Amino acid sequence: MQATCDRVLIINEGKIVADGTPEQLQQEFRGAESVTVELRTGAANPVEQVSPKLRSLPSVTGVEMLSRTGPAGRFRLHVEKGADIRETVFHLAVAEKWILLELTTKKTSLEEVFHKLTMS
C-alpha cells in the first residue's frame, strides 16, 4: 500500500482517526523500535558475554538473542521510541573488535498504525 499512495485516511466506527502521508502516520504512531544486529564476536557464550554490553547502550530497553550460527549471533535490541542507536552499535562493535554482519531497524508499518488506531 505504501508504494501506491501519498495520503492515507483511516476511518474507525464512522470517524476519521488519522489523515496524512504514510510517513507522517508512521512517525506519529510508532511505538518502541527495534534494531536487529548480527555480530561475529568469537564469544563462547554470546548471551552471557555480548548481551550485557548491548543492553548497556543508551536507549536500549531490552536485548534478545534471535539465533546463533557458529561464531555469529543475531540479536534484537528494543530501543526507546525515536532512538537511532545504529552508530552507537557500530562504535561498540569496533571497540570490541566484533565483525558487524547486519544492522537493520524495524519501522512501524501502516498495518501496525491501523491496528493501533482501530483495535479497542
Residue 73 burial (10 A CB sphere; 0-12, 13-18, 19+): buried
- At residue 32, the pLDDT reads 60
Q: What mean pLDDT is reported for the chain?
A: 85
Cβ count near 38 (within 10 Å): 17
- At residue 71, the pLDDT reads 81
- At residue 61, the pLDDT reads 92
93-108 tens-digit pLDDT: 999 999 999 999 877 7
- At residue 96, the pLDDT reads 94
Phi and psi at residue 67, to the nearest 5°: -165, 165
- At residue 45, the pLDDT reads 81
Please report the beta strands in the chain, taking only residues with DSSP state E, as ranges in sequence order. 8-12, 15-20, 33-40, 60-69, 72-79, 99-106
DSSP state letter for 22: H
- Those residues of the chain that have pLDDT short of 50 are 1
